[in-house]
Chains A and B, each alone.
Chain A
């Protein structure tokens, strides 16, 4: 049991921090531009595929730097030449634009790299178990993922709260017109934020690709959960996204690890049903079975009871 708890804590931390890298960019983009970017997870996938291709020529490490820059550039171009034009037609048009973009990127990835899983793997340097506890390994690469994500969190937080650029971004989130009237180039700020947000998603893809697999469905499996994170955390709030990411990371790992079922709970309460009861499927429902829907239940509860999220400053 101790073994399960310790490793679930670690696994949840890795998943949570990865979610944070994705949601930090998404929450900034949404709060600033009002765009719910459905293609955000697609930039994550692009990051993994770019890094894979780079790694086949020059190894993992250059890819770690170059791939996110390329994805960031792609993101900035999408904002400058796509989203900015669509913006005039309102939020619905933007929504549909990013929705279409997500499909487009998936098709492009399949066109160039094919449908099979790519053998993008962790660098030799990190292919060893960092420590072994109760006979179970904790790979060094997972520790590296934690390190990178924490670094990004600290870096982002410092930039936003301690620098001039951060001040302008924060101001543009709430009062874009005032910032524009003060002589700042708000469209440029938007483009920059979209580019940096995409680059962060790309970086998440680069480090997640070797651990979670590089295949055309990778954006899809992560896409919807990222929206849950930003709503639960509170739109526009980086600390909120951080807390929500970890919360959902642990929620999912512990739900899978713990084989509790409804009947166990009823046993404790001293209630029992016979096996022929009409609702017996409900009583035998176990936690691992409902694990995939738990984040969405949390989403619904948050929207009902605390619509601005855990740390958000305005209504969703």
Chain B
């Protein structure tokens, strides 16, 4: 028994050595994509995967790859949005010799991954892993939980709320704000940040309602809408997503509340199509990456994407920044060694395809970029969402949002 196992081990080792010996110039650079590809959040995961594959293909591979011909290969690994499953997939990626991990859906998963990767890198200095987070917005990831190996390409929840409350604070007609969200950590974080920031920027604004509703269980939002209308709110803030976003938005508009609704996730994945005419000029989203008006480069990119995936949209422009910046960092470092690539990424400035810059802030590895408040409309829309003719048009842009925002991050840096 022992003999066979040892023999098997030796055989595997021999095979692995043979493979790694052959792993030279033309081998692809593998990037593990750990996100939900089955279960209730599969749509979001799949949409991200398509963008990553398309970005790798168009931004890197068709241009001849990096380091004289090495291509990017996205390796999809399904985590069913569970932190436990994600760690298993991380082990798989590591055992396949993958040095780059991308993930975005759920800050719970991101927290688990960043801890595991930090531990792994400490114990295995020979095979380190970089964690490129393209969507998880929990501020803790670039504050108390930050580490050298984690890079965030999306604006975090606090930066977005800062831009959102700026927009509200500028409008002197708004005196009453209603905050409503799903009853879980993210909904609560949004509410707390909104109350705090509005209090600082416009102490005269009255918070006429601060309410949490059960997540995914409300069948009819009309009673909430009645309350919002009765409160006399002149603006509504919500972190709702999915069906809760559609239900709440529709009920508020139908009740005749004539107030802007500021959202984090009020567009794409069927939501824009469902709001249609009803949401015109009312629904606003706070986001990175300018969709309308598009730059000529982005228009061309989007046309190519639409030709390949007619039913999907490029709804996470940051994915394209992630891929492009990784390629740049590898070129700059002249190697795929994760430590050198990480140092190359730190402080990197990149002119995005959608217009504007991204700066990877060295102190906490938070990407600093333009944050837009966009409005749901069908006027001047070139790049629409859900093929509905409606889309997001920039209304206000905060250039390099959160550039000087404080961070409590104190990371340990390895020797380069």
Contact = CB atoms under 8 A, between A and B. Distances in A.
B246 A129 contact: no
B246 A8 contact: no
Interface size for chain B: under 10, 10 to 19, 20 to 34, or 35 or more residues? 35 or more
A118 interface: yes
Contacts of A134: 230
Contacts of A129: 256
Contact of A213 (B230, B255, B274): B274
B70 interface: no
A72 to B, nearest CB: 23
A117 interface: yes
Contacts of B216: 217, 221
A285 to B, nearest CB: 13
Interface size for chain A: under 10, 10 to 19, 20 to 34, or 35 or more residues? 35 or more
Given A14-B222, A215-B246, A252-B223, A136 B274 contact: no
A256 B227 contact: yes
A180 interface: no
Given A11-B223, A11-B226, A257-B223, A137 B254 contact: yes
Interface string B229-256: 1100000000000110011001000111
B226 A7 contact: yes
A217 B222 CA distance: 18
Contact of A117 (B214, B224, B230, B243): B243
A3 interface: yes
Nearest to A121: B276
Contacts of B223: 8, 11, 252-253, 256-257
A257 B226 contact: yes
Contact of B269 (A8, A116, A132, A256): A116
Interface string B190-232: 0000000000000000000001111011111011101101100
Most chain B CB neighbours (cut-off 10 Å) among A136, A289, A292: A136
Nearest to B214: A292
A307 interface: no
A213 B243 contact: yes
A124 to B, nearest CB: 10
A34 interface: no
Contact of A212 (B40, B211, B220, B242): B220
Contacts of A292: 214, 217-218
B254 A139 contact: yes
Interface string A7-46: 1100100110000000000000000000000000000000
Contact of B274 (A3, A117, A218, A288): A117
B270 interface: yes
Contacts, number: 99
Contacts of A225: 219
A256 B220 CA distance: 11
Nearest to B40: A115
B217 A221 contact: yes
B219 A222 contact: yes
A119 interface: yes
A4 B220 contact: no
A273 B207 CA distance: 26
Interface string A102-127: 00000000000011111101000000
B43 interface: yes
B42 A115 contact: yes
Contacts of B220: 11, 14-15, 211-212
Contacts of A252: 223
Nearest to B222: A11
Interface in A240-264: 252-253, 256-257
B253 to A, nearest CB: 9
30 contacts: A3-B230, A4-B230, A7-B226, A11-B226, A116-B43, A116-B270, A116-B271, A117-B242, A117-B243, A117-B271, A118-B270, A118-B274, A119-B270, A119-B273, A119-B274, A121-B278, A135-B229, A136-B255, A137-B255, A137-B256, A211-B220, A212-B220, A213-B247, A215-B243, A217-B243, A218-B243, A221-B219, A222-B219, A257-B226, A288-B213
Given A119-B388, A288-B213, 10 more contacts: A4-B230, A115-B40, A116-B270, A116-B271, A117-B242, A119-B276, A136-B226, A217-B243, A253-B223, A253-B226
Interface of A: 3-4, 7-8, 11, 14-15, 114-119, 121, 129, 132, 134-137, 139, 211-213, 215, 217-218, 221-222, 225, 252-253, 256-257, 288-289, 292
